[in-house]
Structure formats: C-alpha cells, structure tokens
Amino acid sequence: MGTPVKRIVLSGYYGFHNSGDEAVLQSILLALKEQGERQGVTFVPVVLSINPEETARTYGVEAAHRMRPAEVWRTLRGAHGLISGGGSLLQDETGTKTIPYYIGIIRLAQWLRKPVFIYSQGIGPVHRLSFYGWIRSAFNRCAFISVRDDESKALLGRMGVPADRIEVVPDPVMGLSLREQRDPKGDTHRKPVIGVSVRFWNEDRSELQAVADALKLVLEQSDAHIRFLPFHLPSDEQASLYVMEHMGELYKERMSITPPINHPQDMLAEVASCQVLVGMRLHSLIYAAGQFVPMVGVSYDPKIDQFLNRLGIKAACSTQKPDANALAEETLRLWNSVEAWKREKQPAIERLKVEAGRPAEKIASYYASQHKGN
C-alpha cells in the first residue's frame, strides 16, 4: 500500500522571534517526524509564519505567510489537515484580534473539510463572553483536542466543550532535546551561572526593579555569574539591559547577556548550562524543567502558575506584588540545593517529557488508521 504522505499545516505564533513559540514549533516538528516514522506516516509540514522565508530556512520546512488570505486559503486547500497550536493562542488579554484570527484559520480548514487537531494549547484568559460561542463551535468540530493544563480544560468545559473530548498534556517544549552535538565554543561560561529571563510588564517597571534588587542580594551571597537570556527579541533584550543598568557598576563584571539567538535549541543549550534559572517567560521555565535546571518563577500570568503547579512549585513572587527579598531567598535556596532539587523533581519531569509527545502520536495514529481503512 505504500507509506501515506500527509501535508499538514501548522498555525501558531510563528516567525516573530519569540524563542518560546519557536521552541513549540521545533518540538511539534520533531514529534511529528518521530511518531510518523513509528506509525508509517510521512508528514510534510507547512508552517503559517509572519516570516515564511526565515521559517523555511531555519527548520527545513515549507512555509506560507500567515497574514495573506489567498496564500492561507491555497495552503489549507492543498493540505490533509491543520494543527492549531501550541501556545496561548486563544486569549484576549493582549488584544481582541488574536482569538478571531486563530478561530478563523480553524473554521476555514473545517469549511474545506480538513481535520483539525488542537495541539497542547493554553486556553485563556478569555474576558469577552462573546468569544465563548466561537471557540465552542470550532472546537466541537475538531478531530482531536489537547490542552496543556487542567485550567484550560475547565475553561473549555465552561464554554460548552465536552470534557471527554479534551486531553490534558504537557507543553510540547517539554519534549524538546538538545542537539546531538553541541559546539564546545558555545560553552563559554565555565563559572557557575544563574540564567535570567525577564520581560517588560508593569508600566512603572517595578517588576524589573525587584529583579535587579534580588539579583544584587544573590550576588552578595554567592559566587554566581548572572547570564541574561532574552527570549523575545528585541524587547526582552531591552528589559535585560534595564535590569543590568539598575544593578549598577559594582556588579558589571559578574553579568553578561547572550547575543541574539534565533534557533530554539541554541537557547535550550544556554539554559542547560545554568545551575538555576530565574524566569518570567513561560518557556524559559519549561526549558529549565526539560533540562533539569532548578527554576524560580516570577508570575505575570496564570499560565506561569499553572505550569509550576504541575511540578509542585509556586512562583517566588508576581508582577502584581514584586518582592525582591522573596525572589532572592528562593534563588539562593535552590542555588545551595541543586542536586536535591533534581532528585526530587526528576520523576515528575520525566513523566511530562514522555507525555509531551502524545498529541503527535494521536495525529500519526489518525492518519495511519485512515490509510489502513482504504
């Protein structure tokens, strides 16, 4: 009968130089390849990206421009299915256009009679009740629904999506591995490193001032080197430089910032080289967990707390209530108990890493069984 070849479109926040979302894409691509090989299906991914040329070059896939309707139409019409996700695509915290865009892509695929797979999405917050019906109508026509936390499943339930159709799985990035061969030149920091991922959030920058004050306390009581890891360029680089400036000249020699990093596995290698990671970006924390690096969360969104909860961890503080002392205390506690933390968290992390591949397994199984039935 031969091996079925399936063109599958991926819709997410791709091509925007956000390392976390690029890691989601890389993780899904690798999981589809692995599961396709296991189940006898060849996937040809086509990524909807804001920068299709760069996406195609970086990942070796086909790509189409996500904001050109005719191009999206042709891409979906010629495909065998759509993957929507992962990431926090269906939320209206950052604006009112996000949900209509992603639901529009799903409904177009469904109108073209293509199966749609919701891949480990984080749903919400959704403040406008008018969006509930849109999401319910689209999701109830999907072939498979997976979300990355129980809170997302509960929210979909309140919208009217049956609970037995929703599978809770980890963020796909939990399954992302390091490249097989790391460049030894990239391992520049032999000294003990605390990685720091920050972003702008509060208008008064109180959250970043608290991080700066906390890191000064940490440096006073340890021999650590602070390595800033900008996940979303260029804004996170600017946020990192803001913190560095507010830490002052006294600690200048004990701080550094990574140069711009585009490929998620290169950023993953940076995180893996840290002893502890302080993170505001969700995927900085997920990178750390996947590499068994103790993490300290600064929560600006429920998705941070939801992920940490899966490992039995609470955020050290939040952007709503920045607390330099609590942040420094938790960072130093982990700094002094790295191996104990790894032993305690390893079973839970290993379980999440395995479960992260489940959506790709289900998608490959869908097409494999379809082929056998022909």
Domain boundaries, the chain: 5-169+357-373, 184-352
The tokens 């006898």 sit on which residue? 40
Residue-wise pLDDT for 290-339, tens only, equals: 999 999 999 999 999 999 999 999 999 999 999 999 999 999 999 999 99
The rounded distance, in Å, linking the Cα atoms of 100 and 90 is: 9
Dihedral angle, C-alpha 240, 187, 279, 56, nearest 10 °: 90
Q: State the sign of the Cα–Cα–Cα–Cα dihedral 341, 345, 347, 349.
A: negative
pLDDT confidence tier of residue 94, bands split at 50, 70 and 90: confident
- Among 152-166, 173-187, 200-214, name the one with the lowest average pLDDT: 173-187
Task: Summarize pLDDT for 120-179 with one digit per residue, the tens.
Answer: 999 999 999 999 999 999 999 999 999 999 999 999 999 999 999 999 999 999 999 998
The answer to whether the CB of 289 falls within 8 A of the CB of 313 is no
Of residues 286, 366, 335, 292, the one with CA closest to residue 117:
366
pLDDT tens-digit map of 17-27: 999 999 999 99
Pick the CATH number of 5-169+357-373 from 2.40.128.20, 3.30.750.24, 3.40.50.11930, 3.10.450.50: 3.40.50.11930
- 267: exposed, middle or buried (Cβ count in 10 Å: 0-12, 13-18, 19+): buried
Pairing state between β 276-279 and 295-299? parallel
How would you classify residue 350: left for phi > 0, otherwise alpha for psi between -120 and 50, otherwise beta?
alpha
CATH value of 184-352 in 3.40.1160.10, 3.40.50.360, 3.10.20.30, 3.40.50.2000: 3.40.50.2000
Give per-residue pLDDT as tens, 134-146: 999 999 999 999 9
Cα dihedral value 88, 91, 95, 101, nearest 10:
80
Q: Do domains 5-169+357-373 and 184-352 have the same CATH topology?
A: yes
The pLDDT assigned to 1 comes to 55
CA distances from 294 to 189, 193, 255, 341 (A): 18, 12, 20, 7
Q: Residue 188's pLDDT band (boundaries 50, 70, 90)?
A: very low
